Amino acid sequence: MASFRMLRFLLLLVLSTTNVLILHPVGTYANSTTNAKQRHKPLFVFGDSAFDPGNNQYLDGMEKGPAYYSPYGQHFFAGTTGRHSDGRIVPDFIAQNANLSLIPPCLETGANFTNGVSFASAGAGVFSDLPGVMNLEQQMMKFDEIKEWFVQKFGDVKSRKALKRAVYVFGFGGKEYLSLYFNGHNISKTYQRQYAEMVVRNLTNAVLELYNAGGRKFGFQNVGPLGCLPMLKAKKPELKDACIEELMSMARKHNKILAGTLKRLGEYMPGLKYSIFDHYNSLLDRINSATNYGFEEGKAACYQNEPEALNGMNWGGNNWMEQYTLCHNSSRYIFFDGMHTTESANSQIAELMWDGPPSTTQPWTLKQLFEL
């Protein structure tokens, strides 16, 4: 308990500084460990709809959303599962690269969690607000239950070692800034920064809890170019090819604060290793130059419906099932729906997270973390 209080003190110390430090690549560590004997390393996933493999269907009182019906999952071998894509999502590809089976939802009854668990929940954020959704705090509570599952299956010593070898991947933040944008107008730059610091503080509190449980290896997908989402562009046709700068600015603030905070935490917490994937610039490059990455369309969604265009995330009951249009070949699109990327785009994103260059993924890659 004392050590955990000390970690929280260090977090407050880190967040109190206004200087954001620059990350530096670690060089060619992976080359020196490629042939090392690999031990089993679970993958634990925390996040929102982009990472959710279908947890929400198990929540009490939660009606199944659009992702549990066609045309979602049309390229996924099991059909519709709650994944917000036409096929696999980013954690599916990461698990594949790590030689793990698909990571099951934490709420799936009777699932085998030996290879890891996904706590991600569509609509989740780092703050407590939406009913029927597992926010970050609730996902951490479910992690405590999974720890007990590991102890019962492997015993105290082996479960502790498994948690230390595991890689913990986070995909949070977008919901907070979309909510701030929709609920407030002319928000000052000062408040935007304070808000971003609160978001990052909640994220790093989770890191401290996992670190105290034995976790040492963490991966982060930073906040993407929110102002370019097709859902939002449909609400502001006057923007044409431009994106909503206020949302873009919020995302950049978050990403800068996250990078600086993790850098300083790494200096205080022995053994902590982390990877930050630059989702913002990687996805923005593909949106603006889709053909350079093998796509035909980078700005419009493959799957479009009227309620989505008019009401943001309000699907208007079940009317969406009858009021949509679908592109001929989703693999040629970056966005499947108004917020989420296609399997083809997810594959590229996952590869960058797994073994991308220092310009996109640093100071470690996920591949390097799994090889530790």
pLDDT tens, 87-117?
999 999 999 999 999 999 999 999 999 999 9
Partner residues linked to 337 by β-bridges: none
- For 275-303, what is the mean pLDDT? 97
Q: What is the pLDDT of residues 160-219, one digit of tens each?
A: 999 999 999 999 989 999 999 988 766 888 999 999 999 999 999 999 999 999 999 999
Candidate list 52, 86, 92, 337, residue with the active-site label: 337
Cβ neighbours of residue 59 closer than 8 Å, sequence gap 6 or more? 107, 121, 132, 133, 134
Candidate list 48, 49, 278, 344, residue with the active-site label: 49
pLDDT at 311: 39
Please tell me whether the peptide bond between 71 and the residue prior to it is cis, using omega within 30 degrees of 0. Answer: yes
pLDDT at 187: 83
End-to-end CA distance of the chain: 27
If DSSP states are collapsed to H, E and C, what string results for 81-119?
CCCCCCCCCHHHHHHHHCCCCCCCECCCCCCCCCCEEEC
pLDDT tier at 61, thresholds 50, 70, 90? low
Q: Which of 97, 155, 149 is nearest to 352 (CA)?
A: 97
49 is catalytic: yes
- For 78-83, what is the mean pLDDT? 91
- For 220-231, what is the mean pLDDT? 96
Q: What is the token pair recorded at 53?
A: 């493999």
Q: Which of 157, 145, 285 is nearest to 214 (CA)?
A: 157
Region for 271 from its dihedrals, namely left if φ exceeds 0, alpha if ψ lies in -120 to 50, beta otherwise: left
Where helices occur in the chain by DSSP H, the ranges are 2-16, 29-33, 90-97, 136-154, 156-165, 174-183, 189-212, 230-235, 245-268, 279-288, 306-311, 343-355, 366-371
CA distances from 302 to 109, 233, 319, 343, 367 (A): 33, 14, 18, 12, 31
Distance CA 367, CA 68 (A): 31
pLDDT tier at 306, thresholds 50, 70, 90? low
What is the overall mean pLDDT for the chain?
Answer: 86
Distance CA 172, CA 315 (A): 22
CA distances from 83 to 199, 200, 343, 348 (A): 25, 26, 10, 17
Distance CA 194, CA 254 (A): 10
pLDDT above 90 as % of the chain: 73
| pLDDT value at 30 more than 50 | no
Distance CA 244, CA 39 (A): 45
Candidate list 84, 254, 279, 340, residue with the active-site label: 340
pLDDT tier at 62, thresholds 50, 70, 90? low
pLDDT at 23: 33
pLDDT at 33: 38
Q: Based on the number of CB atoms within 10 Å of its own CB, is 118 exposed (0-12), middle (13-18) or buried (19 or more)?
A: buried
Q: How many CB atoms lie within 10 A of CB 229?
A: 25
Partner residues linked to 301 by β-bridges: 335
Q: How many CB atoms lie within 10 A of CB 34?
A: 10
pLDDT at 323: 63
pLDDT at 13: 44
Q: What is the pLDDT of residues 238-268, one digit of tens each?
A: 888 899 999 999 999 999 999 999 999 999 9
Q: Name the architecture of domain 43-291+343-370.
A: 3-Layer(aba) Sandwich (3.40)
Q: β-strands 116-118, 303-305: how paired?
A: unpaired
| pLDDT value at 19 more than 60 | no
330 is catalytic: no
Distance CA 334, CA 297 (A): 7
Q: Lowest-confidence range among 22-31, 122-131, 338-347, 362-371?
A: 22-31
pLDDT at 308: 46
Distance CA 137, CA 279 (A): 24
How many CA atoms lie less than 13 Å away from 352 in the CB half-sphere?
Answer: 23
101 is catalytic: no
pLDDT at 185: 64
| pLDDT value at 2 more than 90 | no
Q: What is the token pair recorded at 92?
A: 């599916």
